[in-house]
Amino acid sequence: MKTQREYWDKKIDEWSSAAYGRKSQISVIEKIATYFRAVNKRKDIAIKLIGPIAKNKIFLDLGCGMGEFSFELASYFPKKIIAVDISKNAIQEINKIINKNNLDNIVECHVTDIRNEKKLPNCDIIVGLGFIDYLSKKELNHLFKMIGNKPYLFSYFEKKTSLFNLLHKIYITIQKCPGAYKYSRKEIREIIPQISKPLFIQKDGLQFITNMSFDTVDNL
């Protein structure tokens, strides 16, 4: 069985290229999975929510992948974006983009397995797209204990009977993903400590949890 790090080191380039429409060798199964996951739309929704409040803020992008969300957010004048990911291959690619575009004063990135952290870096807002889906209940609870009452926005896959969830389960099994989790709203409420109490946002079949209120939520 691969570790989460080994899985993502091998997977992230194809996953990200398929998700954001970059040219690369993409398997048929990844193309089908991408269609159902709507990752690009998920990023667009997060940008619509977060972009307008980004100015002068320090962001922490957890499980940043190849940095598509972070780089788009960079154009909304944040003070800084700290992008972290378990995959060194993902962080290597982000570093190349940072250097090529002289973004080192805005985006910094680190290889980090968030499950092993005792404290999160200093930041104003925490974001994670397609990230908490790879944390067990215990790991999720640990993450939210570190978050405390800081503002956050996470996407997640809701546990429910659906064609997407059935196909996703098959995909995860075929890909031998070492750990992927789906949670119901009830479970999320139970896992997340009271201090970071979640509100749920749903748009076009995509789900988010947050403890912020957004002016843009009605215009998504």
Ligand X SMILES: C[S@@+](CC[C@H](N)C(=O)[O-])C[C@H]1O[C@@H](n2cnc3c(N)ncnc32)[C@H](O)[C@@H]1O
Binding mask 64-103 for ligand X (x = CB under 6 A): xx--xx---------------xxx--x-------------
Q: Which member of 71, 134, 183, 214 binds ligand X (CB under 6 A)? A: 134
* DSSP, res 190: H
| Closest to ligand X by CB, 30 or 68 | 68
Sites for ligand X among residues 22-51 (CB under 6 A): 39
In the chain, what are the helix, strand and coil shares in percent, each to the nearest 5? 50, 15, 35
At residue 35, φ and ψ (nearest 5 deg) are -55, -45
C-beta of 157 vs 214, nearer to ligand X? 157
Q: Choose among 31, 139, 123, 33: nearest CA to 70.
A: 123
Which of 10, 79, 115, 185 touches ligand X (CB under 6 A)?
115
For the bound state, the minimum distance from the C-beta of residue 193 to ligand X, rounded and expressed in Å, comes to 19
**Which residue, 124 or 139, has its beta carbon nearer to ligand X?**
139
Count residues contacting ligand X (CB under 6 A)? Answer: 21
Considering only residues 73, 93, 130, 210, which one is a binding residue for ligand X as defined by CB under 6 A?
130
Q: Which of helix, strand or coil describes residue 63?
A: coil
Q: Tell me the closest approach of the beta carbon of residue 217 to ligand X, in angstroms.
A: 20
Site for ligand X in 144-183 (CB under 6 A): none
Is 48 exposed, middle or buried (CB count within 10 Å of its CB: 0-12, 13-18, 19+)?
A: middle
Beta carbons of 114 and 84 less than 8 angstroms apart: yes
- Could you tell me the CA-to-CA distances from 21 to 25, 148, 199 in Å, in that order? 11, 36, 31
Interacting residues with ligand X (CB under 6 A):
4, 8, 12, 39, 63-65, 68-69, 85-87, 90, 112-115, 129-131, 134
